[in-house]
A = this chain, B = another copy of it.
Amino acid sequence: MRRIVQVGLGPVGVSLARTVVERVGLELVGAADSSPDLAGRDLGEILGLGRFGVLVGADAGEVVDATNPDIVLHATSSHLPEAEAQIRALLSKGVSVISTCEELSYPFYRHPALAQELDAIAVDRGVILLGTGVNPGFVMDKLVATLLGACRSVDRVRVRRVVDASLRRGPLQKKIGAGITVSEFEDRARAGRIGHVGLAESAHMLADVLGVGAERVVSERLAPRIAERAARTDFVLVEPGQVAGVEHLVVVEAGGRERVRLALEMFVGAQSSVDEVAIDGSPSLEMTIPGGIHGDQGTANVVVNCACLLDRLAPGLRTMLDVPLRLALEAR
């Protein structure tokens, strides 16, 4: 039985903790969140599962000291510089950490020095640090890398993910700018406060898999998707002409040739969610997942399956390229 502590009880953290509770082989022994709305309350009640008799702590380190978990599931920030002090402290206590921090999923290009430091701490303490989720972590990188396992050489891989954000959590709808004006979108885009985090991480992972060298050129483009008709969700109202969401594109080129193209269209009112992969190579391959893989629940599922498989990894900072991912319901 692996003992789990959940750090961060926003929508993603709550989804993680609920998924831990239902998974045989994992035991949710504690949780922490710095928000005064959550700290001190009963964990089971926050999860909507009835009273557990376990109170949410305000300080992650104190919860870990009191509960001695094997693994912390960490869901506080998309950005590694905001998450790293806490992750560093948790690793130093000798506990493995799986984080949904998007920039941690493949941090070797955006945060190379930080990646090296965190790896050194994890190796030193004999524990594992892994950043994952459904995107980044699965649908636009790990699943694609696995499909590429049937290839001998590849010129280019293209992945397109269309997500109907109407069905997603409120913070995500805000993160993609649903309901704001185009000029607000542009202001936020300039400030780096809009869009999906992690697409460049997925692109770098795939570029590595393809053997693209350090001469790679990565370009990123973020554009608003404009609503053609009004749309209302549980969280926002989008008027025609307002922003419905984002179109986010990352391209990796090398030697003047396009090698990786990741296109994420995430907006309120998308008619048909889909995940599509097109490989130009030997052999060329196409893969389609009609309806796409739902993000919020998918993240919890990927994280919890990784938690069950974590003892297969060597200590250090690992990525999804290291994980033999699968549904992990059995013990073989």
Contact = CB atoms under 8 A, between A and B. Distances in A.
Interface of A: 19, 22-23, 108, 134, 138-139, 142-143, 145-154, 208-211, 282-283, 285-291, 293-294, 297-298, 300-302, 304-305, 312, 321-330, 332
A208 B301 CA distance: 18
Nearest to A300: B152
A148 B326 contact: yes
A153 B329 contact: yes
A134 B151 CA distance: 11
B301 A150 contact: yes
B150 A146 contact: no
Contact of A283 (B154, B283, B297, B312): B297
Contacts of A285: 289, 291, 293
Q: How many copies does the complex hold?
A: 2
28 contacts: A108-B332, A134-B150, A138-B149, A138-B150, A139-B150, A142-B146, A143-B147, A145-B326, A146-B146, A148-B326, A149-B301, A149-B325, A149-B326, A150-B301, A150-B302, A151-B301, A151-B327, A152-B297, A152-B300, A152-B301, A208-B332, A209-B327, A282-B297, A283-B294, A286-B289, A321-B326, A322-B324, A324-B325
A324 B324 contact: yes
Given A209-B330, A323-B324, A325-B146, A152 B286 contact: no
Given A138-B149, A154-B327, 9 more contacts: A143-B146, A145-B326, A145-B327, A146-B325, A148-B326, A150-B298, A283-B294, A286-B290, A321-B332
A145 B145 CA distance: 14
A137 B232 CA distance: 46
A328 B211 CA distance: 8
A123 B323 CA distance: 22
Interface of A is mostly: mixed
A298 B326 contact: no
A150 to B, nearest CB: 5
B326 A152 contact: no
Contact of A326 (B209, B297, B330): B209
Contacts of A108: 332
A299 B291 CA distance: 30
Nearest to A299: B150
A175 B161 CA distance: 40
Q: Which one of A19, A134, A145, A151 has the greatest number of beta carbons of chain B within 10 Å?
A: A151
Contacts of A154: 327
A48 B324 CA distance: 36
A300 B151 CA distance: 9
